[in-house]
Each structure stands twice: as C-alpha cells, then as structure tokens.
Amino acid sequence: MPVRTMAEMQAAGEQPEILFWVGCAGSFDQRAQRITRAFATILQKLDIRFAILGTEEMCTGDPVRRAGNEFMFQMMAYQNIQTLNRYNIKKIVTACPHCFNIIRNEYPPLGGNYEVVHHSVYLQQLIDEGRIRMKESGSFRGRRITYHDSCYLGRANGIYEAPRKVLEALDAELVEMRRCKSKGLCCGAGGAQMFKEEEEGTTRVNFERTGEAIQTGASVIAAACPYCNTMLTDGVKHSEKEDAVRVLDIAELIAEGME
C-alpha cells in the first residue's frame, strides 16, 4: 500500500492530521497486518492525511515493562519519544490497546505528551461526523456479533461504548457475553503472558474466553486488539468452529461494510 512515512512528509514540508502508530503486531504478525491494512484503507478512502514512522517506529516497551525489565522499557520509550518529539507529533491513533495505554499513560512522565486515540474511538468519531457511511445491504447486516473487551481498552482506560457504537453502524445484532465490559475476561495474552508458557491449570484462558463467545451463537467475534484477535482465533481453531465463526477486528468489519 502507498503509505507515506513521517520522514517523507517532513521532507515535503507537510504535517499529517494523525500519526498512525502501527505497533509490532500490526507490522510483523501476518494476521495483524490485515488489521493494519483495513484501517489504512479506511483512512485513505476518507482522504485523511496520515503517516507512519516506518522503520523509525520501535516497540513501545509494553511487554518488557510488564515482564519486569524496566531498564529495557525506558531505553525503548526514550528512543520513541525522541523520534515523536523530533517530528513534533501531536496526535497518535493506534489499533493496539497495549500501545495506546502505554503511550497515553506511561510516556508522559518520560517527556512524551501526545493526544493518543484508540482506533475504536477514532472510527466512532468518523461515523458520528457522517464521514463513514455504510452500505445499505452490508455483508454483516442482521448477523449476530459478539464483542470481546480488551483489558487495556476496557478496565485500564474505561473505553466500553466506542467499539460497540462502531459495531452498531453495521446494522447487526450485537449480543453480549456473560462476562463483559468491566467484568470481561482477559483473552490470556496481556501482561506479557503471550510470550511465556502458561502455569499449570485445567484449561487455557483463551479457550475459556472463546467458549463464552461461541455460546452466544454469534457468527462473528469482534475484537479491537491484535493480541485478543490472535488468542480468540486460536480458541476458535481449538473448538473446531472455523467454518462457523470468524474473528475480526472492528476496522476489518468497517472496511468491508463501508461505501
């Protein structure tokens, strides 16, 4: 996709409306790359002037901080902050709640002060402004969809309604899991758990959570986090429900259903 970098924009003497922070998953994970492409497609369709950092973007340091390596986190954070400040970045939009949480809440004490928006909130704003219009007979109309709350989006930052408002635009039937919103169950990936072996137990967290989603009878499990997407997709495969249930990011749902 022809997406401009901040270096290219600065060389042309331009400044973007937003910096799209892609994140490690969105950059390197093949499944999450589809989420990145979907969100970039929406921005391009709406003629929103945006840029990415490209190779200048480093991991935010969220996993290493959660795993206890504070020294490594501060090295990563300071490098990112220097890059963002050099480009005079004011507004950042990201599709990853982990990136969103750490840049918004944990970068300011280190000198990184920005307006940070999660893509669910940004998409809701675009829908409310009438800039995103959905097709009359969208492919998700009347379909049953359940939404999984990401821990870093929900409990950590109180964002529950925005992603649900985005899903309402699809004209689908939104059904809630038994544990949702502030009582939602983690997908099992947060806090750097994705990168370590599980402790002993009777089941995996993502199998438990996916089971709750499947019990709703939904044909689509909507997520707003690349980690959650991976864990729920693995859960669907484990349940052998791949033919009946899709796991999609809200950006993918909107990109597929918009005019």
Kindly report, residue by residue over 59-78, the tens digit of the pLDDT.
Answer: 999 999 999 999 999 999 99
Q: Which residues of 78-117 are buried (b: 16+ CB within 10 A; e: fewer)?
A: bebbebbeebebeebbbbbbbbbbbbbebbeeeebebebb
Overall number of domains in the chain: 2
SS3 content of the chain, % helix, strand, coil (to 5): 45, 15, 40
Ordered DSSP codes for 5-72: BHHHHHHTT---SEEEE-HHHHHH-HHHHHHHHHHHHHHHHTT--EEB-GGG----SHHHHHTT-HHH
DSSP single-letter state for residue 146: E
157 in a structural domain = yes
The domain containing residue 245 runs over which residues? 135-257
152 in a structural domain = yes
Query: Could you tell me which of 10, 13, 95 has the C-alpha nearest to residue 53?
Result: 10
Say yes or no: 97 and 210 in one domain: no
Name the residue with tokens 């996993």.
63
105 in a structural domain = yes
Domain stop point among 74, 95, 124 = 124
pLDDT of residue 5: 98
pLDDT of residue 136: 82
User: Rounded distance, CA 214 to CA 233, Å?
Assistant: 12
Say yes or no: 142 and 61 in one domain: no
pLDDT of residue 46: 97
Alpha carbon separation from 156 to 43, 97, 106, 179 (Å, rounded): 27, 9, 12, 16
Which CATH number is 150's domain given? 3.40.50
Say yes or no: 176 and 73 in one domain: no
Helix H or strand E segment including 224: none
59 in a structural domain = yes
Residues of the chain with pLDDT under 50: none
55 in a structural domain = yes
Mean pLDDT computed over every residue of the chain: 95
pLDDT of residue 213: 96
Say yes or no: 84 and 171 in one domain: no
Helix H or strand E segment including 94: strand 91-94
1 in a structural domain = no
Number of Cβ within a 10 Å radius of residue 169: 22
Kindly report, residue by residue over 198-208, the tens digit of the pLDDT.
Answer: 788 888 899 99
Say yes or no: 178 and 252 in one domain: yes
Which CATH number is 26's domain given? 3.40.50.1860
Say yes or no: 120 and 141 in one domain: no
Decide: helix, strand or coil at residue 255.
helix
Say yes or no: 244 and 143 in one domain: yes
Say yes or no: 139 and 253 in one domain: yes
User: Rounded distance, CA 20 to CA 50, Å?
Assistant: 7
Domain stop point among 97, 124, 151 = 124
pLDDT of residue 13: 96
Say yes or no: 106 and 189 in one domain: no
Say yes or no: 48 and 147 in one domain: no
Say yes or no: 85 and 185 in one domain: no
Say yes or no: 146 and 239 in one domain: yes
Q: Is the whole model's pTM more than 0.85, yes or no?
A: yes
